[in-house]
Every structure is written in structure tokens, then in C-alpha cells.
Amino acid sequence: MQVLKDIDDCRRAVLEARKTGGVVGLVPTMGALHEGHLSLVRAAESRCDFTAVTIFVNPTQFGEGEDFDAYPRRLEADLAVCRSAGVDLVFTPTAAAMYPPGVSTRVHVSGLTEGLCGADRPGHFDGVATVVAKLFNILPAQLAFFGEKDYQQLLVIRRMARDLNIPTEIVGCPIVREADGLAMSSRNARLSPAERRQAVSLSRSLFAARDRIASGSRDVGAVISEICIEILRAGRTDIQYVDIVDATTLESLEVIDRPARICLAVRIGGCRLIDNVAVDSPPAAT
Ligand code: AMP
């Protein structure tokens, strides 16, 4: 497994892998790897000849007062995980190499970035879109794998790739959860045992809402209230948003009459956790 910090070395290695007709798959991450990340690696390995993982805690996607400094960093353990997963290349650049003095270009995707996490975290998706565009140029892969765990991010990156004619196919992968339903996240490691117990209310409330919609409920307001009540019942939490949105445009829905996503963000202690589930529109009432 190659472990590269240098941008030119990395591009050369990817181009070399493609030279003989190989399909390269890219898995961008911020490290502290868990089963969710590994599911993307496995998806890449199943469709590609060469799998590249990037590990970079991207400073430009964290706002002031957010957890950039506290974000877990475990490079040696991550490299061991990648090695045993059969990854071919890991790119671990420094922030100085990614953002040398004088950098003055940012990628902004409008529309999709305005609601949900975009409303809570101004500039966050500019940071994400910019770093991912850079990674697509540094590692010119045919396929890139992203988790539905960050559903808004997945749609933003798809739109960016389409709008900028980036020839990398964006592949979305399902959310991997703990046995009790909590969506896996690098941030879960920072939860205290009590917070970890509260955190399960996020997925539990989403699953209950999905069931309620599947059995015919169309009232978005009532479904959202139920979710909030269940989360607040679990203890002291700070709900950032709960919304039911069109699965393609991310516009808030008043009635669930098309494929939708229920998305939420909740602060528990020092962690901001996000989760979402897909919901189909219920059958028409008879
Ligand atoms: P991160 O390291 O949190 O930036 O995530 C890197 C990639 O892994 C993103 O595409 C995430 O959506 C994806 N990911 C993170 N957690 C999960 C999960 N529980 N299930 C599936 N994909 C995930």
C-alpha cells in the first residue's frame, strides 16, 4: 500500500494505475475510520481495480467554534485498517500543501446547500465542494464513493461534478449503523456513555417516523413533532433541525407526495450528530 503526502506523487500514482486500463475508485474521508468508511472501501474494491483512500481533516469545512481541533485523528490506526482492507493508496496531505498561501478559489454550489446543514453551518459546503473538487483533480478516479450518511453532501458533490464536467462517477452508499441503530460516525467516539445512550433516539425516532409514513401518515408537521418529542425525551439535547425534504431537490415538503428524506441534526454534549432515512410517499388514501 502506498502512503503519499505529496500531491504530484499522488496524481502520478493514480495515472499510473489507470495507464493499463485500470479503474480507480476514490474514497475521500477525514479519518478515524470505522465500518461506515470501510463499506465505501469495499464498494470501491468490488467495482474497481485500484482503491485510493484520502485522509484529510479539511479545515475549510469547519466554521468558527466548531470541532476542528477536537476532531479525532488516528492516522497510524487508520493506515493499519486500510492496509488490512486491501487499499492500494492512501493520500494524507498536510493543510499547508492543500491550501498554500495565495489560494483564492472556492467552489460554491447554490440551492442544494441552503437548507439543512447548510443553514446551520455557513460556508461548510463551500469547504466540502472545494476540497472534493481538488481531490478529484489530484486523484483522477473514474468512480468516487460517498455515504448517504451525509445525504446533503452526496447531492452537493453530484451536482458539483455534473456542473463542472468532472468525469468522475459519484456512487452513493447506504448508511452503516451500530447494532442499536445509531449511524456510525467518527464523532461517536467523543460521546460519553450517557450521551451515547441518548444518541440512539436519533435513529429510533427516524425509524418510527418512517413506519408512520409507510402506514399512511402524510402530515409532515405531526411526524416532525413526534421525532422531536422522542429525541427530547431521551435527555438534554439541542435539536438543530428536523426536516422532511424532497429526496432530489432537498426542498422542504409540506405533504409527503414523492420520494423524500427525513433529515436531522442534533447536538449532544459537544457533538453535532446527523442522520437521515429514506421514505417513499405513502399509497393514496382510498
Ligand atoms: P467523513 O470521514 O465523516 O468525512 O466521511 C467520509 C465518507 O464516509 C463520507 O462519504 C461519509 O458519508 C461516509 N460515511 C461516514 N459515516 C458513514 C456511515 N455510517 N455509513 C456510510 N457512510 C458513511
**Ligand 1 pocket, mutate which of 149, 155, 187 (most atoms under 8 A from CB):** 149
pLDDT exceeds cutoff 70 at 283 = no
Q: How far apart are CA 162 and CA 286, in angstroms?
A: 41
3-state SS assignment for residue 265: strand
Ligand 1 and 176: CB distance under 6 A? yes
pLDDT exceeds cutoff 60 at 45 = yes
The reported pLDDT for the residue numbered 284 is 58
Ligand 1 and 186: CB distance under 6 A? yes
Model pTM above 0.85: yes
Average pLDDT over residues 58-77: 96
pLDDT exceeds cutoff 70 at 66 = yes
pLDDT tens track for 218-267 = 899 999 999 999 999 999 889 999 999 999 999 999 999 999 999 999 99
Ligand 1 and 44: CB distance under 6 A? no
Name the residue with the closest Cα to ligand 1, atom 6: 29
3-state SS assignment for residue 279: strand
The reported pLDDT for the residue numbered 286 is 47
- What are the C-alpha distances in Å from 253 to residues 77, 127, 194? 42, 27, 34
- Give the residue among 185, 198, 193 at the shortest CA–CA distance from 276: 185
Distance, C-alpha 102 to centroid of its chain? 29
Average pLDDT over residues 151-172: 98
Side-chain half-sphere exposure of 105, counting CA atoms within 13 A: 8
Ligand 1 and 203: CB distance under 6 A? no
- Give the residue among 278, 203, 265 at the shortest CA–CA distance from 238: 265
Average pLDDT over residues 89-104: 98
